[in-house]
């Protein structure tokens, strides 16, 4: 099970460009709208200096990073929820993603057409968000019909479910995304099952072009802050060019420095994705691999073990948990053990970001 971020935005916002930068997958980038017709999928290894430090203790082992998946979806236009543009098809493609990256055009370039005429990020955000809400409205209205039928049946809880659902639906109709609504417990499972688009965590990606932060991207940042979200500024084209040109990690760093960038926007984007999805990373050094893994915050030790091997969840006995910094400082597992700094954790232990875990199974 991976975690997937779906990229949405108007045509020519730079979704495929940023996707290319992320994945080096070489998705087609063109200066005319609707260049992306089929969704591109890419798996992006997440570089993490903690994994590097841990791997340095085990030079004989292979280093395996964790990864995030990205889906580059065709551009959305006004009326998409009714099938305009590439319409419904890609709205169904984002149904299955865990988080939405909303790429917003913040660069002016006369050579790159803008479907709405000029650069106006807030208007663009509102167009896209309206389409997502309209799609939810449609899906949720269908579910409401089912709930109406159920409310006439023998299930005594059904009328309360219907009432709760209708309250959510009414608010969506007024433009309130589900992520900003309190979800009544009667319909929590239903929201999970239906997975409405406006319930998914969302990050804005301001694509600023070559010269960095500008007035447009500042408006996006303000808008994001007002609505309790994050906005990441990315120089899409430069990052994509660097990703393509750099043969190695060192070369990539050198290019970034040359452009006056201390860190790639993509690294910041991945971290924002982790925050939005409330993900944590833990590490293992079983067998021939030193490895990073990703789970949701609040995952118990046996379930985290189940990520490695489905058996681990059932056969779980205990987890030996080490603090990565302490392990690196001690220099070896043995030294840490002698210092009495390995914690034995049971079934209820919730994995924390940065834990190094040795699973002991029956
Ligand atoms: N000047 C400039 N152009 C860019 C930048 N990012 C992307 N572009 C250009 O904008 C055009 C559209 O970029 P894409 O990445 O294909 O846009 P998209 O959002 O995937 O578009 P659709 O697939 O049609 O929805 C291409 O010509 C890109 O080279 C940028 O940072 N600066
Ligand atoms: Mg595209």
Tokens at residue 231, please?
A: 């906005």
CA 72 to ligand 1: nearest atom: 20
Tokens at residue 101, please?
A: 């990256």
pLDDT-based confidence at residue 318 (cuts at 50, 70, 90): very high
Cα(140) to ligand 1 centroid in Å equals 33
Q: Is 320 helix (H, G, I), strand (E, B) or coil?
A: strand
Express each pLDDT in 94-108 by its tens digit: 788 899 999 999 999
What is the mean predicted confidence (pLDDT) over 8-13? Answer: 91
Cα(268) to ligand 2 centroid in Å equals 21
> Tell me, what's the pLDDT at 305?
94
> Tell me, what's the pLDDT at 156?
92
What's the full length of the chain, in residues?
A: 362
CA 207 to ligand 1: nearest atom: 31
Residue of the CA atom closest to atom 13 of ligand 1: 14
Cα(83) to ligand 1 centroid in Å equals 23
Q: What is the pTM of this model?
A: 0.86
Express each pLDDT in 184-198 by its tens digit: 999 999 999 999 999
Ligand 1: list residues with CB < 6 Å: 9, 11-17, 29-31, 33-36, 74-75, 107, 109, 112, 207, 209-210, 235-237
Compute φ and ψ for 178, nearest 5 degrees: -60, -30
For the cut 80, the answer to whether the pLDDT of residue 122 exceeds it is yes
Cα 85 from Cα 68, distance rounded (Å): 28
Q: Is 319 helix (H, G, I), strand (E, B) or coil?
A: strand
CA 28 to ligand 1: nearest atom: 16
260 Rama class: left (phi>0) / alpha (psi -120 to 50) / beta = left
Sign of the four-CA dihedral 79, 83, 87, 93: positive
Lowest-pLDDT range of 69-78, 141-150, 344-353: 69-78
Instruction: Tell me whether strands 230-234 and 99-105 are parallel, antiparallel or unpaired.
Output: unpaired
CA 20 to ligand 1: nearest atom: 15
> Tell me, what's the pLDDT at 73?
78
Q: What are the angstrom distances between the C-alpha of 86 and each of 10, 17, 102?
A: 11, 19, 17
For the cut 70, the answer to whether the pLDDT of residue 87 exceeds it is no
What is the mean predicted confidence (pLDDT) over 126-135? Answer: 91
Tokens at residue 24, please?
A: 């080096």
Q: Is 203 helix (H, G, I), strand (E, B) or coil?
A: strand
pLDDT-based confidence at residue 25 (cuts at 50, 70, 90): very low
> Tell me, what's the pLDDT at 176?
95
- Domains, the chain, in order of start with CATH, read 4-47+65-119+201-276 (3.40.50.300), 130-198 (no CATH), 298-361 (3.10.20.30)
């Amino acid at each position: 099970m991976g975690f997937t971020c779906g990229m949405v935005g108007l045509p020519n916002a730079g979704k495929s460009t940023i996707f290319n930068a992320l994945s080096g997958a070489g998705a087609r980038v063109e200066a005319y709208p609707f260049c992306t017709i089929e969704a591109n999928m890419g798996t992006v290894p997440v570089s993490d200096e903690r994994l590097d430090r841990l791997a340095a203790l085990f030079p004989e082992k292979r280093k395996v990073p964790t990864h995030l998946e990205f889906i580059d979806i065709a551009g959305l236009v006004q009326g998409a929820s009714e099938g305009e543009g590439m319409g419904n098809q890609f709205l169904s493609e984002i149904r299955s993603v865990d988080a939405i990256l909303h790429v917003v055009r913040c660069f002016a370039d006369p050579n790159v057409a803008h479907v709405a005429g000029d650069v106006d990020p807030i208007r663009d955000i509102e167009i896209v968000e309206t389409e997502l809400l309209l799609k939810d409205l449609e899906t949720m209205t269908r579910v409401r019909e089912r709930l109406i039928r159920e409310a006439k049946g023998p299930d005594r809880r059904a009328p309360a479910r219907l009432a709760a659902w209708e309250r959510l639906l009414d608010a969506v109709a007024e433009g309130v995304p589900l992520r900003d609504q309190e979800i009544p417990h009667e319909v929590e499972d239903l929201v999970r099952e239906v997975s409405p688009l406006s319930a998914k965590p969302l990050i804005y990606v301001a694509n600023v072009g070559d010269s960095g932060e500008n007035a447009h991207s500042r408006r996006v940042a303000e808008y994001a802050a007002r609505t309790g979200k994050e906005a990441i500024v990315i120089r899409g084209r430069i990052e994509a060019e660097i990703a393509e040109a750099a043969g190695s990690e060192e070369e990539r760093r050198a290019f970034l420095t040359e452009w006056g960038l201390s860190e790639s926007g993509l690294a910041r984007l991945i971290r924002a994705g982790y925050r939005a999805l409330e993900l944590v990373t833990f590490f293992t050094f079983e067998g021939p691999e030193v490895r990073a893994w990703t789970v949701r915050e609040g995952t118990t030790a046996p379930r985290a073990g189940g990520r490695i091997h489905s058996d681990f969840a059932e056969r779980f006995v205990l987890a030996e948990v080490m603090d990565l910094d302490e392990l690196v400082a001690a220099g070896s597992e043995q030294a840490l053990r002698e210092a009495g700094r390995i914690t034995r954790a049971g079934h209820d232990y919730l994995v924390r970001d940065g834990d190094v875990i040795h699973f002991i199974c029956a």
